[in-house]
Amino acid sequence: MSKIVLKGNIAFTPTKEKFQIHKNSYIIVEDGKVVDICSELDKSYKNYTIQDFSDKLIIPGFVDLHLHAPQYPNRGLGLDKELIPWLETYTFPEEGKYSDLDYSRKVFSRLINELWRVGTTRSGVFASIHKESTKLLLDMFIESGLGAYVGKVNMDRNTAPYLTENTRASIVDTEEIIKEYMNKSSLVKPIVTPRFIPTCSEELLESLAGLAIDYKIPVQSHLNENKSEIIWVKELFPNSENYASVYDDFNLFGQTSTIMAHCIYNTDEEIDLMAKNGVYAAHCPYSNYNLSSGIMPVRKFLNKGVPVGLGSDISGGNSLSIPNIIAGTIQASKMAWINSNKELAPLTFSEGFFLGTKGGGSFFGKVGSFEKGYEFDALVIDDSSLSDINELSIEERLQKFIYIGDDRYIVERYVKGRRIEKPFD
């Protein structure tokens, strides 16, 4: 049994309403899970390995619920375009390169290193359509020690010719990956990934749902990101009530654990269906701004009980930093507040932090908090140079780090109780 104790200023959000703060305290971890937090160390823990981080902050690791691994080289490119032109001009040509495993390895090693650098300990990841490249990404995440759901993208229509799959081959490849990786790691798992409704035939959607249900595998896709996309879906499925109902009709909407990214233009009926089915919304504010998509009304989703996490959505989003995205999420909520005649209250700091930790982390299980029994994903933050002028509370120090800090202030990273060093040279 591995046993460790970390001492420092411990901060986390068991609920979105407020922080739980333990100043100058000890957090006890056994076999990768939190056992207790105490101000004085009981003698029964005296023989445990103790890491004294003095006045530093100890917080949960960040969770990125939505990103595209093969788009990593495109960060910062084409962000003056809307979604569909951006996909056609930049994204699809880049994603066509991943039949080359040497190129894939080069990109993935840099991506995973940067996730480590910015303090992201768990991720929901889209790969490309390529089976072997997807397997490589799964293997590299396993090697890194970071947690992830990784999905081979499925597309058999309405995309570039070099990304249009044979329907049967797409299904066979997806099942092969599921079988090979569903029990290979406790931290890295496959996830069924139809790119979005317009690029998937009815046969493909139906078969992917069958795989998800038969193997008890989660699902990730996109929903209501762009108005032209919504019109397109209605043209393809005129008999469906709305975009969400298409997924639901094909058993890809909460029949197993499900993430839907963006959710900017959801109707009240779609939000109600997400709440009923327990479907997660991955809020990606940077991408939504960059591609002129819109602003997701996060408060409406929270009010209706929809689970919400945050996503970088690289490369639509230009930053992998979840602290940046927490700040962006709070800022976006203020615009939604103004646009709703001040009906949708803006998010508080604790709510934003919750979404970037436990909100998205709950998709992975007991992740994103320091409550008893939770897996110990953690960051140690040395914010001494940010808070050395005026005396601040622990919550104020954390707020400063989120808004004006960066990865240089992260001194240690833990995933499931294991200290993680930079994965790749």
Q: If one looks up domain 3-61+368-419 in CATH, what number appears?
A: 2.30.40.10
**pLDDT computed for residue 238 by the predictor:** 96
**pLDDT computed for residue 99 by the predictor:** 97
Angstrom distances, CA of residue 402 to CA of 121, 198, 349, 405: 16, 37, 10, 6
Domain boundaries, the chain: 3-61+368-419, 62-364
Q: What digits encode the pLDDT tens for the residues 399-410?
A: 999 999 999 999
Assign a CATH topology to domain 62-364: TIM Barrel (3.20.20)
Q: What digits encode the pLDDT tens for the residues 317-373?
A: 999 999 999 999 999 999 999 999 999 999 999 999 999 999 999 999 999 999 999
Q: In the predicted model, what is the mean pLDDT of residues 213-224? A: 98
**pLDDT computed for residue 237 by the predictor:** 97
Q: What's the CA gap between 344 and 133, in Å, rounded? A: 43
Q: What's the CA gap between 419 and 165, in Å, rounded? A: 40
Q: What digits encode the pLDDT tens for the residues 227-262?
A: 999 999 999 999 999 999 999 999 999 999 999 999
**pLDDT computed for residue 43 by the predictor:** 86
**pLDDT computed for residue 1 by the predictor:** 66
SS3 content of the chain, % helix, strand, coil (to 5): 40, 25, 35
- How buried is 194 (Cβ within 10 angstroms: 0-12 exposed, 13-18 middle, 19+ buried)? buried
Both tokens of 227, joined, read 């108005």
DSSP label at residue 342: T
**pLDDT computed for residue 47 by the predictor:** 84
Average pLDDT of the chain to the nearest whole number: 96
**pLDDT computed for residue 387 by the predictor:** 76
Angstrom distances, CA of residue 285 to CA of 109, 290, 329, 361: 26, 9, 6, 18
Q: What digits encode the pLDDT tens for the residues 115-173?
A: 999 999 999 999 999 999 999 999 999 999 999 999 999 999 999 999 999 999 999 99
